[in-house]
Amino acid sequence: MKDDNCIFCKLAAGQIPSNTLYEDEDFRVIMDIAPAVKGHAIVLPKQHMNDLLSIEEDTAKKVLFVVSKVANAIKDALGCDGINILQNNGEAAGQSVFHLHFHILARYENDHFTIPWKTLSYTEGEAEEIAGKIRAALR
């Protein structure tokens, strides 16, 4: 299934030119045209799905393999000090294009790229209460 109005469907299908790093029957990996860091790639499934929460198990296994393969190639090719793999689900989480995708970012010491968040703490018993709700939803 493809969405004719989805820019990532068009990129994954090769309808919009891009610097393709990797391609197989299910995925295309391209260089981000507005990179956060040099060596910023995006993994795109060729089939449209909104986010990771709507992915099928078989596709999940395949995409993790592709992400790992490309991340290792970026690290080897660029000699970067580390890799970030980012994936957002829903507008509140920062997703702006509603086609499942993973960002792979080459990281270097002192590259000045940040992913800020403030740490919180739980009140007495709050972590166990939240964990219980999640465990119940997993059943």
Which residues belong to the active site? 101
3-state secondary structure the chain: CCCCCCHHHHHHCCCCCCCEEEECCCEEEEECCCCCCCCCEEEEECCCCCCHHHCCHHHHHHHHHHHHHHHHHHHHHHCCCEEEEECCCCHHHCCCCCCCCEEEEEECCCCCCCCCCCCCCCCCCHHHHHHHHHHHHHC
